Structure 1
Amino acid sequence: MSVRIVVRTFSELCVTAGALIILFVVYLLFWTGVKAAGATEGQIDALENQWARGTVTAPATGTPGDQAPAPAPAPEAYRDGKPFAMLYIPRFGKGWEWPVLENTEVKTLQKGLGHYRGTARAGATGNFAVAGHRRTYGDPFKDFPELRPGDAVLVTDGTTWFTYRIDRKPYRTVPSDTGVIDPVPRKSGFDGPGRYLTLTTCDPEWGSSHRLIAWAHLDATQPVTDGRPAALRG
C-alpha cells in the first residue's frame, strides 16, 4: 500500500471522526435542549391542568368560640415520575421556572428537576431536596455557582408559596456524600431540625465527578390566593 493511500485513508478517518464529534456536540448543546423544552412544557401543562381541576383555598383560621376544626387529611404522596410543584430562582433570570417531578432518575431529569425520594415534602419539616442538570436538557442549573446567601428559591404546589433563602455559597463535594440531603444536612451549618431545602447539580460544568450543593431555609409561606410573592414581582 502506497504512502499516498495511507495518508488519504487516515485523512478520511479524521474527517469522519470530526463530523461525528460535531454532531455529538450539536446533540448535547441543541437537540437535548429542544427535547427538554418540549418535555418541560408538557410537565407544566400537566401541573396547571391538575391545579385547575382542584380547588385552591387558603388554610382555615377559625374564630374564637368555634369548635376545633377537623384534622386536615394527610397529603397525597407524590406520584413517582410525575410533576407536583414549580420552582423559581430569580437569581437565574426573570423567566427561570422549572417543574419538579418525583424521583431523580435519568428520564425524569430530562423533563425537569427531580425530588429525591424519601426527603421532605415542600415546606415541611426536614429537607426538601431537589436535583437538576448543570448542562444538557435545558441547562436548568447552568448558573448554579452564582447562588449567594440571601437569594430566594420559591416553590409552589398549587395551594401555597414557599420562599426559601440560600444560607451560603455552593458547597463542592463528591457523589457519595449523601449526607448533604439528610433531614439536617451535614456540613450545611444547620444545627437542628428545621424546614430546609437542598439543591444539587453536577460539577464540573461538563462533567460529573463532583457535586455542587446549595442549602436554604424556609423563610416565608403564603397561600396562592394572595398572589405571587414579592421576590417574584421585582
Structure 2
Amino acid sequence: MTEPRGRRRRGARRRPPQRSVTVGDVIRGTVRLFGELLITAGVVMLFFAAYQIYGKQLETNREQEQLVQAFEEGSGDGGEADTTEAEALPGEAHSRMYVPSLDQDWVVVEGVSQADIEYGPGHYPGSADPGEEGNYAVAGHRVPAVFWDLDQLASGDEIVLEDEDSFYTYEVTQNHVVMPDQTDVVEANPDDPGAEPDRALVTLTTCHPKFSNAERLIVHAELAEEHDKSDGVPASIESMVD
C-alpha cells in the first residue's frame, strides 16, 4: 500500500535550517583570536623579562668566576697582566670590589660600554685608580647579579676595592638620584667639577628606578683606610674573600 503524499514517515528528522555567518560572528571571532594572541604574547614577554632579570644571573656568575681567576692570576705574578703595572684593556679585570652590607662582590673590568659591563661593573676610563686621589668611577647594570640593591646602601656602609698590593676601604657618604646628563658625578672632584681632587673617592652609578633608565642612582664613598695585603684581609670582608 502506498503511503499517502504529504505524510512524513515516522522517525524521520527534519534538518535544522543552516544559519548564515553574519558580520557579528566574524567580528566576535576576530576579537577572540586577537585576545588569545595578546595573552600568548604577554606570557612570552613575561618569561623573557624574567630571564633578562633573573636567568642571566647564572651566566653573570659564571663570567665573574672567570674574571676572578684572571684577576688573581694577574695580580699575583708581577708580569704584564698586572692590573696596576700595565694599563687594563677594555673588558679586562681592573680591580675587585666588595660591598659587605649587600654581601656582594665583583671583578670590575675596564670600560663602560654595553659589551664591557654585560657581566659586571666597569671602570670609567680615565678616572682614578683604587686608593688614588680623585674619583674611582664605576658603572653597572641594575640587575640582581650586579647593582640591583644599590639603593640600600646608606651613609657609613663600606665599599672595599682590591688591587695587586692593597685593600682600600671606602665609607658611603651620599646616595642620591640624578638625571642622565649630570655627568659631573663621575668627575675627579664631583663637588667642584674642574677643580683638582682633594680626596680619594669611589662613585657607583646605575639606572633608576628598577626596570627603567630614566634617571641615574649615584653612590659616593670616601677612602677611610688602606690595608696592605701583607697584613691580611680587612675584617669586614674576611668571609667574602675566596
- TM-score scaled to structure 1, two decimals? 0.82
One-letter code aligned to 2:62:
G
Structure 2, unaligned runs of 5 or more: 1-22
In structure 2, the residue matched to 1:167 is 173
List aligned pairs for 1:34-73, cutoff 5 A: 34-54=58-78
Distance 1:142 1:187, change over 3 A: farther
Q: Tell me whether 19-28 or 99-108 shows the greater mean CA deviation.
A: 19-28
Percent same amino acid at aligned positions?
A: 30
Distance (Å, rounded) in 1 between the aligned partners of 2:183 and 2:59? 30
The reply on whether 1:177 has 2:182 as its aligned counterpart is: yes
Output aligned runs, 1:74-223, within 5 Å.
Answer: 75-93=85-103, 96-135=104-143, 138=145, 140-168=146-174, 170-186=175-191, 193-223=198-228
- Looking at structure 2, the residues matched to 105 and 52 of structure 1 have their Cα atoms a distance apart, in angstroms, of 27
| Amino acid across the alignment from 1:105 | S
Q: Hey, what does 2:39 align to over in structure 1?
A: 15
Moved more, 106-115 or 10-19: 10-19
Asked if 1:26 corresponds to 2:50, the answer is yes
TM-superposed deviation, 1:105? 0.9
Q: Deviations over 1:91-150 (max 9, x none)?
A: 102xx11000001111121121100111111111111111112225x2x21221111111
What amino acid is aligned across from residue 206 of structure 1 in structure 2?
Answer: F
Query: Which stretch of structure 1 is more off in the superposition, 154-163 or 27-36?
Result: 27-36
SS of alignment partner, residue 213 of structure 2: coil
Please tell me the residue identity of whatever aligns with 1:147. L
Alpha-carbon shift at residue 166 of structure 1 (Å): 1.0
Contact 1:43 1:111 in 2 (8 A): no
* Structure 2 SS opposite 1:106: coil
* Inter-CA distance 184–204: structure 2 relative to 1 (3 Å threshold): same
Query: What's the Cα RMSD here?
Result: 2.3
Query: Quick one: which of 229, 232, 236 aligns to 1:227?
Result: 232
Name the aligned partner's letter for residue 220 of structure 1.
Answer: E
Between the aligned partners of 1:115 and 1:41, the Cα distance in structure 2 is 18
Distance 1:18 1:80 in 2: 38
Q: 1:214 & 1:187 partners in 2: Cα distance?
A: 17
What is the alpha-carbon distance in structure 1 between the residues aligned to residue 189 and residue 109 of structure 2?
Answer: 22
Aligned-pair distance for 1:80?
Answer: 1.8
Gaps of 5+ in 1: 56-73
Greater Cα radius of gyration, structure 1 or 2: 2
Aligned equivalents of 1:166, 1:152: Cα separation in 2: 6
Deviation at 1:209, TM superposition (A): 0.7
Q: Bigger relative contact order, structure 1 or 2, given CA contacts below 8 A and separation 6+? A: 1
What is the rounded CA distance, in whole Å, between the counterparts of 2:197 and 2:112 in structure 1? 26
- Contact kept in structure 2, 1:161 and 1:223, CA below 8 Å: yes
Return closer, same or farther for 1:119/1:106 CA change in 2, 3 Å cut-off.
same
Matched residue pairs, number?
A: 210
**Offset at 1:164?**
0.8
- Deviation at 1:231? 2.1
Query: Is the 1:39–1:110 contact (alpha carbons within 8 Å) kept by the matching residues of 2?
Result: no
Tell me, in whole angstroms, the C-alpha distance in 1 between the residues paired with 2:222 and 2:28. 68
TM-score by length of 2: 0.79
